[in-house]
Amino acid sequence: MDRNDPQLQAAVRRSNEAKKAAVADIRALTASIKRSHAQFKAEAAGRRSEREEANRRGDNGPDVQRVQQRVDRGETTWEAVRDGSDDHPSSIRVRQMITANLDQLSEAMARDPEVLEQQRDLDARNEEIDRLRGPEGR
């Protein structure tokens, strides 16, 4: 085709317009994602701040309050409490409390009909995937 062909020129124009529209859409989506991420971070920081204030007041028990005071003084971190590297007695008791709470939650979820139904669905999907993969894919 000839570069001066009106149909070719029209097609190039349409292609350029589509490209510009796609770039504009991507930029708008990127801006939206950045706004959502900033909002999420701000909300998470607010929740963390509220949780820390509740800890300082003792709303979550004296051991949590002691740990929060130690965190505030820079003597430990919540990560150190969770991963077990902080062996202060209050941290040990907080870890035990967290473990007990997680165990209770796990037991409650194991009895929840909705969770049980979702687990059955997941098991069925996994079995179907295994069946489709055949003996070589396992």
Spans of all domains in the chain: 47-111
The mean pLDDT of the chain is 93
CB burial string 34-73: b at 16+ within 10 A, e below: eeeeeeeeeeeeeeeeeeeeebeeeebeebbbbbbebbee
Whether the CA torsion 25, 31, 36, 41 is positive or negative: it is positive
The burial class, CB within 10 Å (0-12 / 13-18 / 19+), for 93 is middle
Per-residue model confidence as pLDDT tens digits over 69-121: 999 999 999 999 999 999 999 999 999 999 999 999 999 988 999 988 998 99
Rounded CA separation 7/99 (Å): 71
What pTM was computed for the model?
A: 0.58
